[in-house]
């Protein structure tokens, strides 16, 4: 029997506040275990939570960017469960009345755009972290306990592991672009759970789902979902029934394995958090956040393709990080030829760029690149010489013009000497010359390449092209 996967993702995105959701402890990653803690995030008796205003602001921005309805009233709730990394024995989250509901996210797979529904986005505090294998013991680090998260629950609209990976990438891009999350999968500030089931093709009823927990890699998401689909298919083909449970993915074996059984009924015994009043956000605040929301990555790419003439692939590359966007647009302000800027930035500048979270470092400045491209455009240097100048610019505060002068670089535009070179090349390659005269214009590129090779890339390409067309006759 042929089955169709039904997949829904729950994304847990750490909100980029300096302090935790309900206390003033730092959210910095990588500190000594149990140093960024206080009575509130340790869950000590008598401690009371105080809501972080910046976390609320980021959650509102997230909801708006996802096209959700942001509610003026939401309620915090206690989600009760017992694990060593949850010091209070419950997690403060939102349940019946979350801050945002009913949105969407557009994804693209194999050139086809699909809209995936968003059920809800709500705030909650993170748990701590169990650390295994320390002198043979398992210990608990509570530095992460209380870190603000926005959980984004997607509708079960995904139908393949490729769509799931595309959804995660699009979600990460969006959250990084609006500055609420650093997108760092390795440090756990962006991770997801995947709910996976299968059903016979053509049926409407969902199958029994299994939840794959805490996946923090785009590649592992695809592998984990594919492994789970294979596992569930084998069970049904053998006449068995899939059990609802929570599973983990082992990248070494490529298999999912049981963590714990999970019944259909919610067993978290949610109830309103008695130490926090209802969260009320006025309409004016929501309107101001909507007006201040920066352009989203999908809109940036569409504008570049439609208005500036960039290819889809180049627009995708340059919109891979908000700092890439700023760099590209800063160069365009000084050198108003977007396609040439885009190609140079994508092929040369980004090779040396390094990004971490919301920051990115470049080996050159937009002003240096704009001046370099201006020199090429004016005919002062050739494209090949531009690469030499760019290499010399990297990591310096020099100008492109000063490097050109230091190295004595210039384009050879002596018509007489270049015509002599062209005649020599035509004589050297008679069969190719005959083909051009017979109408095979594509071979003009061959002669151009030979001429640039002979001159070390210093010849004026426009003049060389015109000379070959003249010398090889009307067939060119």
pLDDT, residue 462, reads 79
Does residue 264 carry a pLDDT above 80?
Answer: no
Secondary structure letter of residue 31 according to DSSP: P
Q: How confident is the model at residue 41 (pLDDT cuts 50, 70, 90)?
A: very high
DSSP assignments along 158-217, one per residue: B-SHHHHHHHHHHHHHHHHHTTS----TTTTSEEEEEEEEEEETT--S----EEEEEE--
Task: Quote the tokens at residue 386.
Answer: 């531009």
The alpha carbon of 325 is separated from its chain's Cα centroid by a whole number of angstroms, namely 13
DSSP assignments along 355-398, one per residue: EETTEEE-SS-HHHHHHHHHHHHHTSS-HHHHHHHHHHHTTS--
pLDDT, residue 383, reads 82
10 Å CB burial of residue 384 (0-12, 13-18, 19+) is: middle
Bridge partners, residue 79, by sequence: 91
Shortest CA distance to 244 belongs to which of 227, 266, 219? 266
pLDDT digits (tens, 9 = 90+) for 440-475: 888 888 988 888 787 777 777 777 788 888 888 744
pLDDT, residue 439, reads 83
Taking residue 380's Cβ as centre, other Cβ atoms within 10 Å add up to 16
DSSP assignments along 331-359, one per residue: HHHHS--HHHHHHHHHHTGGGS-EEETTE
pLDDT digits (tens, 9 = 90+) for 374-416: 998 988 888 888 998 999 999 999 999 999 888 877 665 667 7
**What's the average model confidence in pLDDT over 77-90?**
92
Task: Quote the tokens at residue 374.
Answer: 């201006």
Taking residue 297's Cβ as centre, other Cβ atoms within 10 Å add up to 23
Mean pLDDT taken over the chain: 92
Lowest mean pLDDT among 28-42, 161-175, 412-426: 412-426
Lowest mean pLDDT among 115-124, 241-250, 252-261, 311-320: 252-261
Does residue 476 carry a pLDDT above 50?
Answer: no
Reduced to 3 states (helix: H, G, I; strand: E, B; else coil), residue 312 is: helix
Q: How confident is the model at residue 436 (pLDDT cuts 50, 70, 90)?
A: confident
pLDDT digits (tens, 9 = 90+) for 101-115: 999 999 999 888 999
Shortest CA distance to 342 belongs to which of 315, 323, 306? 315
Lowest mean pLDDT among 13-22, 295-304, 326-335, 432-441: 432-441
pLDDT, residue 434, reads 87
Q: Please state the φ and ψ torsions of residue 178, each to the nearest 5 degrees.
A: -85, 0
Bridge partners, residue 250, by sequence: 255
Angle, CA 270 vertex, CA 286 and CA 51 arms, to 5°: 40
Taking residue 366's Cβ as centre, other Cβ atoms within 10 Å add up to 21
Map tokens 């919109």 to a residue. 319
pLDDT, residue 110, reads 87
Task: Quote the tokens at residue 42.
Answer: 């340790």
pLDDT, residue 412, reads 58
pLDDT, residue 281, reads 97
Taking residue 337's Cβ as centre, other Cβ atoms within 10 Å add up to 16
Bridge partners, residue 106, by sequence: 115
Whole-number Å distance between alpha carbons of 376 and 461: 11
Question: Which residues in 385-422 are b (16+ Cβ under 10 Å) and which e?
Answer: bbbbbbebbeeeeebbeebbeeeebebbeeeeebbebb
**Which domains, ranges and CATH numbers included, belong to the chain?**
3-285 (no CATH), 295-407 (no CATH), 415-471 (1.10.10)
CB of 267 closer than 8 Å to CB of 31: no
Does residue 201 carry a pLDDT above 60?
Answer: yes
Whole-number Å distance between alpha carbons of 9 and 165: 10
Query: For residues 35, 40, 43 and 45, what is the CA-based torsion angle, rounded to 10 degrees?
Result: 130
**What's the average model confidence in pLDDT over 350-356?**
93
Taking residue 44's Cβ as centre, other Cβ atoms within 10 Å add up to 12
Angle, CA 132 vertex, CA 190 and CA 212 arms, to 5°: 40
Beta carbons within 8 Å of 404's beta carbon, 6+ residues apart: 375, 380, 381, 385, 389, 410
Map tokens 């701590």 to a residue. 128
pLDDT digits (tens, 9 = 90+) for 136-152: 889 999 999 999 999 99
pLDDT, residue 262, reads 67
Lowest mean pLDDT among 57-66, 311-320, 425-434: 425-434
Map tokens 């210990």 to a residue. 139
Secondary structure letter of residue 443 according to DSSP: G
């Amino acid at each position: 029997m042929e089955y169709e996967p039904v997949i829904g993702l729950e994304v847990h995105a750490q909100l980029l506040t300096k302090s935790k959701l309900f206390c003033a402890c730092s959210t910095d990653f990588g500190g000594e275990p149990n140093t960024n803690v206080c009575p509130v995030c340790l869950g000590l008796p008598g401690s009371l939570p105080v809501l972080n205003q910046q976390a609320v602001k980021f959650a509102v921005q997230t909801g708006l960017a996802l096209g959700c309805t942001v509610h003026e009233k939401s309620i915090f709730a206690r989600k009760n469960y017992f694990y060593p990394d949850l010091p209070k024995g419950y997690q403060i989250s939102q349940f019946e009345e979350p801050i945002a509901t009913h949105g969407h996210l557009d994804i693209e797979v194999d050139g086809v755009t699909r809209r995936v529904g968003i059920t809800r986005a709500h705030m909650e505090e993170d748990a701590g972290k169990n650390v295994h294998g320390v002198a043979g013991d398992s210990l608990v680090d509570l530095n992460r306990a209380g870190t603000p998260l926005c959980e984004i629950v997607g509708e079960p609209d995904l139908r393949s592991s490729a769509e799931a990976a595309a959804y995660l990438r699009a979600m990460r891009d969006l959250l990084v672009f609006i500055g609420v999350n650093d997108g760092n999968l390795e440090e756990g500030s962006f991770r997801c759970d995947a709910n996976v089931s299968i059903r016979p093709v053509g049926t409407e009823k969902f199958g029994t789902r299994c939840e794959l927990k805490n996946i923090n890699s785009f590649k592992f998401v695809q592998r984990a979902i594919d492994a789970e689909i294979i596992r569930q298919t084998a069970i049904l083909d053998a006449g068995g029934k899939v059990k609802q449970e929570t599973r983990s993915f082992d990248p070494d074996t490529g298999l999912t394995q049981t963590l714990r059984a999970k019944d259909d009924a919610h067993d978290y015994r949610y109830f309103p958090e008695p130490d926090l009043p209802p969260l009320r956000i006025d309409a004016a605040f929501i309107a101001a956040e909507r007006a201040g929301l920066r352009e989203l990555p999908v809109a940036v790419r569409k504008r570049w393709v439609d208005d500036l003439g960039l290819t889809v692939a180049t627009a995708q590359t340059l919109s891979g990080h908000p700092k890439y966007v700023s760099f590209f647009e800063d160069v365009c302000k000084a050198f108003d030829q977007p396609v040439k800027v885009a190609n140079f930035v994508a092929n040369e500048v980004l090779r040396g760029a390094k990004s971490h979270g919301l920051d990115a470092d470049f080996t050159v400045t937009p002003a240096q690149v704009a001046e370099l491209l201006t020199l090429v455009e004016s005919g002062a240097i050739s494209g090949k010489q531009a690469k030499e100048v760019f290499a010399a610019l990297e990591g310096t505060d020099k100008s492109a013009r000063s490097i050109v002068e230091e190295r004595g670089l210039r384009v050879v535009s002596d018509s007489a000497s270049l015509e002599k070179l062209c005649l020599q090349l035509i004589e050297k390659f008679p069969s190719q010359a005959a083909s051009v005269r017979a109408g095979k214009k594509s071979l003009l590129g061959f002669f151009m390449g030979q001429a640039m090779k002979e001159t070390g890339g210093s010849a004026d390409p426009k003049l060389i092209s015109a000379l070959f067309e003249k010398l090889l006759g009307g067939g060119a």
